[in-house]
Structure 1
Amino acid sequence: MPAEPSPVLSFPHDAVAQITLRNPPVNALTRPATRRLRGMLEELAENTAVRAVVLTGERAFSAGSDISEMPGMQHDGDVLASKSNLENATLELLADLPLATVAAINGFALGGGLELALCCDFVVADAGARLGLPEIDLGLIPSSGGSMRALRRVGQARAAELVLLGEPISAETALEWGLINRVAPRGASLSVALDLARVLAGKSRSAVHANKLALALTFGESTHEPARRALPVFEDAFGSPDGREGVRAFLAKESPRFR
């Protein structure tokens, strides 16, 4: 029997839903997986029996976008229509869910994987997990609001380290910076996240939603609008010679030769 397509929706506890990314070996976020995730989030937003959602990955969280999809988009020049608009709409749905959300990071969360995790209200990571926004090494920028969400969590100086250096940081450093909420013992992030989700599920769903709105209003503007305004910047980088070279080199397992 073929495996269920990624991601997979389950209900491990009363009022708690779990979404598991399952696309070996690195849980790359393909376009079909992103469309499936969007459908799940729409379903959960309307399911009043659910009060908390845990987002995790099988064996690891996610290495982000499926790079193998990119050369065709660079050739066709349709990255916004075929990829970025879908991704941004999906991440906005996750960020705006009227219920509590917890990301459980095991192994690594890189690029679009970290962007996805940062849409959650709480982020729990295994000790030893690695988190980063390495798009600069592809000649690109984070395309789904990762720069803005990281900036809100850690401030300008540390956000610059994430997006300009592109080097992954440890879960322990991420906690010190304020990028994540908790570090769990190695291999225990899902268990800790589910325990936290059960506590959150005991809260008033309407009050959780109201408090999420209040927290967002504190900044005067959601991250959605800045992320949307950055899409043309991503499009320019994606179609640039360096963007093409970065993707080519990654797929060829070579060091890029940027101009």
Structure 2
Amino acid sequence: MPDPGRPDVGNTAVRWDRVADGVLRVTLERPPANALGKPIIEGLAAALDELDAAGNVITVVTSAIPGFFAAGADIKHMSGVDAESFLAYGNELRGVLDRLAAPNRVTIAAIDGLALGGGLELAMACTLRIAGAGARLGLPEARLGLIPGAGGTQRLPRLVGRGRALDIMLTARQVPAPEAHAIGLVDRLVADGQAEQEALKLAAELRRLSQPALHAVIRTVDAAFDLPLSAGFAYEVAQEQELFESGEAKEGLAAFLEKRPPKFV
């Protein structure tokens, strides 16, 4: 439940509230389907400003629209603009998703219903994805004569591999949640209507851990896709050494030896 001392804030399309110490819920609420137009882009940017100011916060991105996480980009807007405005709109969306995907934050997408096009790109920009059993995910841009242009062609292969990513994008099909879970597009599969609850539970668990360590895990895993193996090993060593010298490793090791919970920031 939201903290009664901290009411929801945001714009008309995105609101956020602190549901627990160190856990922020960001809720998309733009009927009828959470199209990722200017209102949601601006709302997400404002929510990210809040995250940056809050520091070590685990974030859950969810939806208040039944049947939809987010159905995609704002097609009506895209169809009525010129080339320059089309590029500007795409850059705004890409900028927000890139900020969301930064390795210095942990975010969890709670997907119940449809996550299509830009909606799936939003979910893939999050660190983890939890989906209800009836959710459906896809990148149908080929039906519009376009490609997934907000990171979809790059993030999807890193999650599911080249062949599966091509199958999903070339066919423009909707992937049922059980299949999405089996191929690694979704990290946890829960009963319908339970994605947000499970995401908030996981967020609370993660917040009790060392945030610098979690961020270092994300950075080193991401490096595995970009660096040769030997360079990846070297980067891993550097990250671990940094945690030992200036992170929270000393507190974690001391707490283990003293048989007490660690006091992480």
Give the shorter-chain TM-score range.
0.7 to 0.9
Q: Distance in 2 between matches of 1:94 and 1:4?
A: 18
Contact 2:11–2:43 under 8 Å retained in 1: no
What is the alpha-carbon distance in structure 1 between the residues aligned to residue 71 and residue 85 of structure 2? 22
Q: TM-score, normalised by structure 2?
A: 0.78
C-alpha distance in structure 2 between counterparts of 1:187 and 1:76, whole Å: 40
Say how many residue pairs are matched. Answer: 216
* 1:205 equivalent in structure 2: 211
Counterpart of 1:172 (choices 149, 169, 178) is 178
Matches within 5 A, 1:22-171: 22-48=29-55, 50-58=56-64, 59=66, 60-73=68-81, 75=82, 77-81=84-88, 83-96=89-102, 98-171=104-177
Structure 1 length as normaliser, TM-score? 0.80
C-alpha separation in 1, matches of 2:79 and 2:152: 22
**3-state secondary structure, aligned to 2:69:** coil
Unaligned runs of 5+ in 1: 222-259
Displacement of 1:218: 1.2
Confirm or deny: 8 A CA contact 1:7 1:22 kept in the other structure: yes
Q: Identity across aligned pairs (percent)?
A: 39
Tell me the distance in 2 between the aligned counterparts of 1:77 and 1:191. Answer: 41
1:80 is aligned with what amino acid? Answer: L
Q: Once superposed, which parts of structure 1, at least 4 consecutive aligned residues long, lie more than 6 Å away?
A: none
Question: Which runs of no fewer than 5 residues in structure 2 stay unpaired?
Answer: 1-9, 228-265
Give RMSD over aligned pairs.
1.5
> Would you say the 8 A contact 1:100–1:201 is kept in 2?
no
One-letter identity of the residue aligned with 2:92 = L
Q: 1:41, 1:94 within 8 Å by CA — same for their partners in 2? A: yes
- Which deviates more from structure 2 when the two are superposed, residues 95-104 or residues 129-138? 95-104
Name which one, 1 or 2, has greater alpha-carbon Rg. Answer: 2
1:71 to 1:184, Cα distance in 2 relative to 1, 3 A: same
| Structure 1 CA distance for aligned equivalents of residues 150 and 198 of structure 2 | 27
Q: Deviations over 1:164-200 (max 9, x none)?
A: 0000010000001111101110110000111111111
Distance (Å, rounded) in 2 between the aligned partners of 1:115 and 1:109: 8
